Amino acid sequence: MKAQLHLALMQIDIAWEQVDDNLQHIEQQLTQLPAATEVVFLPEMFATGFSMDVEKLAEPMDGRIVQWMKTQAARHRTILCGSVMIRDQGQFWNRLIWMQPDGKYGIYDKRHLFAYAGEDKHYKPGNRQLIAQVNGWRVALYVCYDLRFPVWCAQQPTDDGAPAYDVLAVVASWPSSRIEAWDLLLRARALENQAYAVGVNRVGKEPHGTLYPGHSAVIGPAGQVLHQASSGQEAVICCTLEAHQLQQVRQHHPFLRDRDHFTILNC
């Protein structure tokens, strides 16, 4: 594992269903990032907002949004990560894309669809997890509501007994009415899994009235808040994760060796 991992969390206001405006806004933000940035995290459905209008807005994997991610990742020589409304194999997916500068990518389809907002009536749930790698760091990727489900996010040992991931990353559209849960769950997921937790949430207001406060944050592997963006304002958190801090927590408090081992069935 490389000694440091340089991240940027882009807490932005998403223009409702205005793809071109949102992509242009993100492009402007990308030009201002430090050159050392290795991964940029964007909020859930960063190009459209958390919309259910799949017939109008969903795109195929070779559509303009994914192609835009490929272009920007190559141009800025950084990984771009965020979720997109995708049409694939006759189904609609809230799909997180991990786009590398070389054009290769990984995908994670949101497992826990937010039935309270009717998401389950428009999208198909995923059944596979994604742990991406960058310079030896392993990053487990999730979308918004997944954060509420500790079993889905739990560390499972690799063949050599090591933890499965070093960073738990969540891209979200998490509203003001439940933001205390977001703050609490990010810290809980970091603490119980002895991993950094990175959560990026949007700000702004949707046409139907839902408010988003941000609270994007980086949490240390002992559950401490390392960085948190201001509430209700656009912000970019640029931070550096330290491998030695992660290793120190795991060595001094080896709680993970006592965890329950289990297999998730019927995904």
Q: What positions carry a catalytic annotation?
A: 44, 110, 144
Q: Which residue has the tokens 């046409």?
A: 207
Q: What letter does residue 110 receive in the DSSP assignment?
A: -
Whether the CB-CB separation of 40 and 30 falls below 8 Å is answered with: yes
Q: Which residue has the tokens 């009235």?
A: 209
Distance, first Cα to last Cα, the chain? 31
Instruction: Report how far residue 203's alpha carbon sits from residue 173's, in angstroms, rounded to the nearest whole number.
Output: 8
Task: Report how far apart, in Å, the C-alpha atoms of 6 and of each of 79, 201, 225, 236 are.
Answer: 11, 19, 17, 13
Which residue, among 93, 119, 97, 92, has the nearest Cα to 107 in the 3D structure?
97
Q: Hey, what are 171's tokens?
A: 């891209």
Q: Which residue has the tokens 């810290």?
A: 187
Residue 199 CA, chain-centre distance (Å), reads 6
